[in-house]
Structure 1
Amino acid sequence: MHPSRKIPSARLPIELLSEIFLLCVDDSVDQRNTIQIPLLLANICSRWRSAAIANPQLWARLFLKLAGTSSKSQTALVDTWLARSAACPLTIYVFWEEGPFADTHPVLERLMNHAERWRTMFFYLPYRAFKSFARVRNRLPILADLSLGTDDDVVPLDLNMFEVAPSLRSLECVNFAPTILRFPWAQLEDIPLLSGNIADCLDVLARGTSLSKLSVIFVEGGAAVPGSPNTMYPYVCHKHLTCLTIMTPPWNEAVELTPLFPHLTLPHLETLTICNVNSTFGDAFTQFLSRLPTLKTLHLRKTALADDQLVEGLKHLSSLTSLIVLSAPSQVARPNDQTVTRYLLEALTRNFFSNDAMDGMLLPRLQKLELTVSSAAARELDTFVDMLQSRLRDDDGLARLEHVRVRPSVLLDDEFFVRLVELRDLGLDVEVEQTSVASPIEGRA
C-alpha cells in the first residue's frame, strides 16, 4: 500500500495542512505555544515540516526567558523565528530576570533589527537595558500593544524611543509609572496596568485624554494637605474613560485613597471595579459616585466600604444595571467590615425608601446582582429572599432582576437552597458558586 494511503494528512494540500497547524496553538504567549508546538509540528515528517515552515504565522510569536548577557542557542532560535515569520507582525514576550545583566543583550539586538514588525511586545528587563531601545525610535509603524516591566528601582530618564508609534493604543508598565518615559499619550486608549500613586493616576488621566480603560495598582496613596485639600493634586475631568479598576498590592491593602476621589470626575464611566482596598473612602467617595451618571457596573471586592456608605452611594447610581459586592472570607471575623448586611438587603428591597415605585427607588435599572453571603447574611434569609422577590415584579419604569449569583463564605443550610429554587421557578436565573463550604444549587430544583 502506498504510504499516502496510510496517512490521511498526506492527502491534504500543504496550504490546508499549514492552516490546520495554527489550530494546534492557542492564544497564550508561552514557551509551549510559541516554541515547543511549532518545533514538534516541524519535526514529524518532511511533509509536515514543509507545511509548518510555509506558514509564517506559526513563527510570528515568541516567548523568551533570558539568562546572563548572551546565549548562542537563544540567539539562533530568534534568528530562525524571525526568518520563518517572513513579514508577519510580531508578538514577542521577553523576560530577563536572571543575571548577570548588561546594557543590552544579543537577543534584544536581533529583535530591534525587526522593529518595523513589532505589533504586541512585552519586555521585562533590567532598567538599564531600556536605554538600548533608542535605535527603534521612528521605526514602530504597527506597534499596537506595549508592555514594559522591571524589578529595579527606576529614575526618570529622558527616553523617547516609544514617543513616535502611530498605532500604539495599549500601554502597560509593571512596577513603575509610565510618566517617566515619553509616549504618544493623546492616542492611547487602554492602560491595563499602572503601578503608582494618586499623583501618577491623575497625571496619566490628564495626559491620556483619549483613554477608555485604566487599571491602577496603588502601591501608595497620599494625604491631602491639611486645610488645603485641593492644592496637592490637580483636578481631572476625563470625558472618555469608560472603565476604571482600582486595586492595591497584597502587601499593602490599607493604602489611603481618600484624596483621590475629590479630584476626579468621570462623566462617561460605565464600569468601576475596586479590589483589595482595606481602607475607608470617606464621604468623598459618595460624592464621587454622584458624578458617575452613566455607571452601569459597580464591582466591589474585598473592600472596607461600610454598608451605610455603600447605600448612600447607590442612591446616586440610577443607571446601574449590575452590582457585585464580594467580601473576603476573613471578613467574617471582622463584622465591622461587613458590607452585605441586613441594612443593605433592606435598602435594595423595592419601596424601602418610599411607597412610590419610583420615588427614592434604589437602583431602578438593576438586572444582575452578585453578593457574598457571610454568616451574618445567611441569618437574614427572609430579608434576602424578600429583596429578590421584590425585584421580580413588573412595575412600570423599573427593571426586573434577571440574574443573581450567591457566593457563600459559610455553609448554607437546605432551607436557603429551597428558597432560592423557588425564586428560580419565578423566572430568576439563580447561581450559587461552588466552594468548599457550599453545595451547588443545580440538581435541587
Structure 2
Amino acid sequence: MVLSVCRRCATTIVNNALGIQRDTSDVLCDADSVAPSFGAGAPDTQRANLDAEIDVVDQLIFKLRVERARLCKKRNTLSPISLSLPPEILSEIFLYAGLPDLSSKSDNSTVVPLLLGKVCTAWRQIAWSMSELWSSIDIRVSRKRSDTQAALLREWLERSGQRPLSISLTSENGEHTWRDALTPIAVISELASVCYKWQKIDLFLPEAWYECLSKIGNHLPLLTSVMVHPSANEFIPRSMHAFSEAPLLHEVSFSHYYLHDVSLPWGQLTKLKAKCISTDECLEAIQRSTQLVECHFEDVYPPEDQFPLPPSPVVNQHLKILRVVLSTGTVIAPLLDRLTLPSLHSLEISSAEQSICETLITLVERSSCPLTRVKLLGATVLEEDMISLLKAVPTLSEMTSH
C-alpha cells in the first residue's frame, strides 16, 4: 500500500501494493478526478458528504490494522528465541518468570501469564496451556466491575486445570464500601464453585459472602492455610464455620472474630495468628490447639469472660514460638501465669509494663522449657531484672529489650 498526494487537490491517495482488494473505499481521492468540494450545497448535504468520507477513512484504518497485525505476527515468528528454543524450554523459562520476587512485597505471579500472552501467538499458546502459571490468583475486587472480573476469573480457573490454587482477595476501593446488602457476590461465587482446589486462601469477608461460603461444606480436601478477616476489620455477629472441615488445614490467621463464633479443626493446627482477641480467648485457643507449634496474638486485651479462666495452667506440649502484642492497659501476667509450655524456645512480648521479668522466670520454672530467645518490646527492663532472668534461664542465648 503506497500513499501519494494528488497533484490537483493535495488529497492523500492510497495505492494498493499489498494485495488488499481494491475498491472505491481504498482511496481517499482518485488522482485522475477532482476531489469533491464541500464548500457548496446545503449544510445537510455537506454533513452527509463528510460522514461518507469519514466512513471511508474508518474502513481504511481497519484494513491497515488488520494488515499490521498480520505483519507483526509474521515478524514475531522470526524472533531468535522463538526459532531457537523448543516449547519445553520456553515452558521452564515461563515458570521461573512466574516465581514470586522474594525481595519485593508485591507478588507479580498473577500478572506474568497475561504479559507472556501479549508477546506473540506462539507464546500465548504455550502460556495458555500451562496450568502451573494459573494456579495463583490475586484479585483486587471492584464493586463496579465485579461481573467482568468474575467472567475473567472463570477463564483463569479453566486454564488452571486441576492445580491447587493459592488465592488472595482484597478490596479495590477500601473494605468499608462492602458493608451493605448490595455487595456483589459474583467473584466469591466463582471461587466457591472450585473450593475443592483451594490450597491457600487470604480474603476479607463481607457479610454478604457468608452464604456463598456456607455451601462449601466438607469440600476442602487440599486446603492448608487460611487468612480471613471481616470487611473493614469490624466485629460482626456472624459465625465462621466454612473452614471447620478441612483435613489438611494447619495454618490459620483470623482477626476481629469472637472465638466462640470461629469453628476450626483446632486439634490439627500447628500455626495460629489471631488479632483483636481477649486474654481468656487466647488461653482457650491454646488449649484447643493441642498440636500448636507457633502462635501469634496481636492486640490482646484483658479478659472479657467469654470463656472461664482455667483453674490450673493450660499445658501445650508442642508450642515452641509464642509472640504476644498487648493492647494499651493490658498486662501479660493473666496470660503467662496460666500457661505451661515445656517446648518453648522463643518468646516475644510487646508491652508497656515494666514488671515482666518475674512473670517470665515463673513461666520458665513451671514449664522447664529450653528457652533460648526472649524479645521484649516497649518495656523498660531494669538491669537487675535482666540479670535475674539470665541467671534463672541458663539456656537463654539471645535477649533483646528496647
TM-score, with structure 1 as normaliser: 0.65
Deviations 1:328-381 (A, max 9, x none): xxxxxxxxxxxxxxxxxxxxxxxxxxxxxxxxxxxxxxxxxxxxxxxxxxxxxx
The answer to which of 193-202 and 53-62 deviates more is 193-202
Whole-Å Cα distance in 1 between the matches of residues 211 and 342 of structure 2? 39
Compared with structure 1, are the counterparts of its residues 11 and 119 closer, same or farther at alpha carbon in structure 2 (3 Å cutoff)?
A: same
Q: Are the counterparts in 2 of residues 69 and 99 from structure 1 also a CA contact under 8 Å?
A: no
Question: For 1:215-230, what aligned pairs fall within 5 Å after superposition?
Answer: 215-222=296-303
Whole-Å Cα distance in 2 between the matches of residues 207 and 114 of structure 1? 30
- Residue 59 of structure 1 aligns with which residue? 134
- Residue 196 of structure 1 aligns with which residue? 277
Letter of the structure 2 residue corresponding to residue 236 of structure 1: V
Compared with structure 1, are the counterparts of its residues 219 and 182 closer, same or farther at alpha carbon in structure 2 (3 Å cutoff)?
A: same
Compared with structure 1, are the counterparts of its residues 111 and 160 closer, same or farther at alpha carbon in structure 2 (3 Å cutoff)?
A: same
Superposition deviation, residue 160 in structure 1? 2.5
- Residue 45 of structure 2 aligns with which residue? none
- State percent identity of aligned pairs: 24
Whole-Å Cα distance in 2 between the matches of residues 244 and 303 of structure 1? 17
- Residue 144 of structure 1 aligns with which residue? 224
Give the secondary-structure state (helix, strand or coil) at the position aligned to 2:235.
coil
- Residue 308 of structure 1 aligns with which residue? 384
TM-score, with structure 2 as normaliser: 0.71
Superposition deviation, residue 115 in structure 1? 0.3
Q: Which structure is higher in helix share?
A: 2
The answer to which of 235-244 and 105-114 deviates more is 235-244
Letter of the structure 1 residue corresponding to residue 283 of structure 2: L
Larger Rg: 2
Q: Are the counterparts in 1 of residues 153 and 190 from structure 2 also a CA contact under 8 Å?
A: yes
Whole-Å Cα distance in 1 between the matches of residues 176 and 155 of structure 2? 24
Deviations 1:15-66 (A, max 9, x none): 2212211211333698761433221111101111112112111111111122
Letter of the structure 2 residue corresponding to residue 299 of structure 1: K
Q: Are the counterparts in 1 of residues 146 and 184 from structure 2 also a CA contact under 8 Å?
A: no
Superposition deviation, residue 157 in structure 1? 4.0
- Residue 280 of structure 1 aligns with which residue? 354
Question: For 1:136-175, what aligned pairs fall within 5 Å after superposition?
Answer: 136-150=216-230, 151-175=232-256
Superposition deviation, residue 320 in structure 1? 2.3
Superposition deviation, residue 182 in structure 1? 0.9
Which residue, 156, 160, 163 being the options, matches 1:85? 160
Compared with structure 1, are the counterparts of its residues 171 and 22 closer, same or farther at alpha carbon in structure 2 (3 Å cutoff)?
A: same
Which residue, 324, 341, 346 being the options, matches 1:271? 346
Letter of the structure 2 residue corresponding to residue 189 of structure 1: T
Superposition deviation, residue 106 in structure 1? 0.5
1:37 equivalent to 2:112? Answer yes
- Residue 386 of structure 1 aligns with which residue? none
C-alpha root-mean-square deviation of aligned residues, in Å? 2.8
Name structure 1 gaps, 5 residues minimum: 225-230, 328-445
Give the secondary-structure state (helix, strand or coil) at the position aligned to 1:209.
coil
Question: For 1:322-333, what aligned pairs fall within 5 Å after superposition?
Answer: 323-327=398-402
Letter of the structure 2 residue corresponding to residue 53 of structure 1: W
- Residue 52 of structure 2 aligns with which residue? none
Q: Are the counterparts in 2 of residues 68 and 98 from structure 1 also a CA contact under 8 Å?
A: no
Give the secondary-structure state (helix, strand or coil) at the position aligned to 2:276.
strand
- Residue 126 of structure 1 aligns with which residue? 206
Q: For this pair of structures, how many residues does the alignment match?
A: 316
Q: Are the counterparts in 1 of residues 147 and 187 from structure 2 also a CA contact under 8 Å?
A: no
Compared with structure 1, are the counterparts of its residues 269 and 196 closer, same or farther at alpha carbon in structure 2 (3 Å cutoff)?
A: same
Q: Are the counterparts in 2 of residues 69 and 105 from structure 1 also a CA contact under 8 Å?
A: no
1:298 equivalent to 2:374? Answer yes
1:210 equivalent to 2:291? Answer yes
Superposition deviation, residue 315 in structure 1? 1.9
